[in-house]
Chains A and B, each alone.
Chain A
Amino acid sequence: MTARLVTGAIDPAALLAEVSGDGHGATVLFLGTVRNSNDGRPVDGIDYTAYDAMAVVEIERIVAEAVARFPGIVVAVEHRTGTLRVGDVSVAIACGHAHRGPALDANRFVIEQLKRRVPIWKREHYLDGTSEWVDPTRPALEATP
């Protein structure tokens, strides 16, 4: 099991290798990438910051919960911090299992819990030169055409 915060580029192939196994009939990889717009505003990049010590522990807790829910699952998670550009991978989650059902479900479980619980924040930089901390608890603005 792997739970890491990294400051350099995430290597999905390395994560896939960490969850590989001869008994695995299914491997699922989720990549979260920086999108070029949010709430209708063109995005130039994102600065990610974290409460590093707690973020790693919280990801480990989530992975342990995934193992309890989906026996036999093997999970590797990396989240990147620092300044990312559009298209960069911010988070990668790889899950390996004997069967596709648990592999798919565990992957979904881990990303949803990560977004809900892990103390990581992002400051979006917009093409107009402004920037803002993203607050997912605030209702989204209507996207402007």
Chain B
Amino acid sequence: MTVRVLLFASYADAVGKRELTLELAEGAVVGDVVAHVRGLAGGTALPPAPLLAVNAAYARAHQPVRSGDEVAIIPPVAGG
């Protein structure tokens, strides 16, 4: 299945991408996306357990992903 992955701020700078598409095995969970991104060049700048969102809502690493999901890896937020 295919998921769209969004990176922001320091994480996007570290990996050099704001967006990527991943092919994952059926049964994959959100945490598998993090493991994949951490395996990319610069990816170790991401912590092993960053904040995550699926389709614009915060999600846990063990939550299943579905084909077409938008998974965001969220750096520490600093609004205001």
Contact = CB atoms under 8 A, between A and B. Distances in A.
B27 interface: no
Contact of B80 (A51, A53, A114): A114
B8 A49 contact: yes
B75 interface: yes
A85 interface: no
Q: What's the interface size class on B, roughly?
A: 10 to 19
B53 A136 contact: no
Contacts, number: 73
Interface in A71-105: 79, 90-91
Contacts of B53: 51, 54, 119
28 contacts: A32-B80, A49-B8, A51-B6, A51-B8, A51-B56, A54-B56, A54-B57, A54-B72, A79-B79, A79-B80, A91-B80, A115-B79, A115-B80, A117-B77, A118-B79, A119-B8, A119-B72, A119-B74, A119-B79, A120-B78, A120-B80, A121-B10, A133-B9, A133-B78, A135-B10, A135-B76, A136-B76, A137-B76
Interface of A: 32, 48-51, 53-55, 57-58, 79, 90-91, 111, 114-123, 133-138
Interface of B: 6, 8-10, 13, 53, 56-58, 72, 74-80
